[in-house]
């Protein structure tokens, strides 16, 4: 009837979706590979401090963590500064010696990463360090974030 019929474009207007699962799988595999499931439930608060001249730990398999910070009591309250290794809070500081020695026997190139809350005092940190010396785990790493050192 009408002379001015609308011309339809010849091209298809669909985005091809056939390859979508492949792309998704690729992403999936990437994330599966990089994921490290959280192994420990933190029972102490650890707010990292910051430093400029830091290095990366390349071999994550060698790392064992020690957490030092105020105990989380729930309800936003915090208790005294405690030491946590793996899943347990350490009551007796001298127990660290044996624990870390056992770990060193399993992995001779062990690196101990100290994750210490920035508000902790040095007393407990150096107690732990003394224990590490006794255990023979001498490679340590003070975990910090990158950034300007906080002004004093």
Partner 1 sequence: MQLKKRSRETAEVPQAGMADIAFLLLIFFLVVTTIDVDTGIGMQLPPPPDPDQEPPPIRERNLMNILVNARGQILINEERASLHEVRQLVVDFVDNANRAQDPNLSEDPRQAIVSIKTDRQTPYEIYIDMLDEVIGAYRQLRDEASMREFGIPYRQYTARVSREDNVIRVMYPQNISLAEPDPGT
Q: How many residues bind partner 1 (CB under 8 A)?
A: 54
102-to-23, 39, 132 alpha-carbon distances in Å: 44, 19, 12
By CB neighbour count within 10 A (0-12 exposed, 13-18 middle, 19+ buried), where does 8 fall? exposed
Nearest distance, CB of residue 81 and partner 1, angstroms:
10
Residues of this chain, 34-53, that bind partner 1 according to CB under 8 A: 34-38, 49, 51-53
Query: Is residue 84 part of the contact set for partner 1 (CB under 8 A)?
Result: no
CB contact at 8 A, 64 and 110? yes
| Residues making contact with partner 1 (CB under 8 A) | 20-21, 24-25, 27-28, 31-32, 34-38, 49, 51-57, 60, 63, 111, 113, 116-123, 125-126, 129-130, 132-134, 136-146, 149-150, 152
């Amino acid at each position: 009837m009408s002379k001015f019929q609308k011309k339809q474009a010849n091209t298809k207007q669909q985005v091809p979706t056939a390859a979508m699962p492949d792309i998704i799988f690729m992403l999936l595999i990437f994330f599966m590979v990089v994921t490290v499931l959280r192994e420990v439930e933190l029972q102490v608060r650890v707010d990292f401090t910051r430093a400029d001249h830091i290095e990366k730990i390349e071999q994550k398999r060698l790392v064992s963590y020690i957490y030092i910070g105020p105990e989380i009591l729930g309800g936003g309250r915090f208790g005294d500064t405690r030491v946590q290794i793996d899943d347990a809070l350490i009551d007796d500081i001298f127990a660290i010696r044996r624990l870390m020695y056992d770990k060193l026997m399993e992995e001779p190139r062990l690196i101990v990463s100290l994750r210490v809350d920035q508000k902790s005092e040095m007393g407990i940190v150096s107690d732990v360090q003394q224990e590490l010396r006794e255990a023979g785990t001498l490679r340590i790493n003070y975990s910090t974030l990158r950034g300007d050192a906080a002004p004093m």
